[in-house]
Amino acid sequence: MSTARRLLLLNGPNLNLLGTREPAIYGSQTLSDVETLVARAAADRDFEVRSLQSNHEGVLIDAIHAAREDCAGIVINPGGLTHTSVALRDALSGVALPVAEVHISDVLSREPFRHHSYVRDVAAVHVVGEGVAGYVRATDELIDLIESPAESL
């Protein structure tokens, strides 16, 4: 694992519409608000954050691949790709970095197609249904995991 004190914050399709897209489900805070919250939470722990949002699966995958060079972990809200993308799941698995999966809404209380996550089995941290504040908890738990001493036998 990289010793960098940097996290990659990835947001998938349609998350650029936060604040205006279905505020009853996703709230009124914007993607910029999310990025600021995560950057502050990480800075409190001496980490920096590189943020990226894309509506394009390949752009997200390329960012995941690049993260193995200079990041210690990934916080990701894959958006709708959560339920459809084996390729995104394989990219996360392939870089061998700890991953925190975040969902603003409680996907398990929504439509049945949202109940399956391809990311779930490769993520060490899962935060679902806590609104935008869930990103902060995911960041803290991911940093706890990164900073936890390796267990020796």
Q: Bigger pLDDT: 35 or 28?
A: 35
Reported as half-sphere exposure (CB side, CA atoms, 13 A), residue 44 has a value of: 12
Burial (CB count <10 Å: 0-12, 13-18, 19+), residue 93 = middle
Domain that holds residue 46: 6-147
Q: Which is catalytic among the residues 56, 65, 103, 115?
A: 103
Bridging pattern class, strands 6-11 and 125-128 = unpaired
Is 37 part of any domain? yes
Question: Per the residue annotation, which of 26, 115, 118, 126 is the catalytic one?
Answer: 26
Q: Is residue 153 part of a domain?
A: no
Binding site residue list = 77, 83, 90, 104-105, 114
For helices 133-147 and 31-43, give the axis angle rounded to 10 degrees. Answer: 30
Into how many domains does the chain fold? 1
Instruction: Dump pLDDT digits (tens) for 108-121.
Output: 777 776 777 889 99
What is the gyration radius of the CA atoms in the chain, in angstroms? Answer: 14
Higher pLDDT, residue 10 or 153: 10
The verdict on residue 152 lying in a domain is no
Please report whether residue 50 resides in a domain.
Answer: yes
Q: How confident is the model at residue 78 (pLDDT cuts 50, 70, 90)?
A: very high
Order of strands, edge to edge, in the sheet holding 6-11? 48-53, 6-11, 73-77, 99-103, 125-128
Question: Is the Cβ–Cβ distance between 5 and 47 less than 8 Å?
Answer: yes
Higher pLDDT, 27 or 63: 63
CATH number, residue 78:
3.40.50.9100
The answer to whether 79 and 13 are in contact (CB under 8 A) is yes
Asked if residue 71 is part of any domain, the answer here is: yes
Whether 89 is covered by a domain: the verdict is: yes
135 is catalytic: no
Amino acid 79: pLDDT: 93
Is 126 one of the annotated active-site residues of the chain?
no
The HSE-up count of residue 138 (CA atoms within 13 Å, CB side) is 34
Q: Is residue 1 part of a domain?
A: no
Entry pTM: 0.90
Quick: pLDDT tens for 37-73: 999 999 999 999 999 999 999 999 999 999 999 999 9
In a domain, 23, yes or no: yes
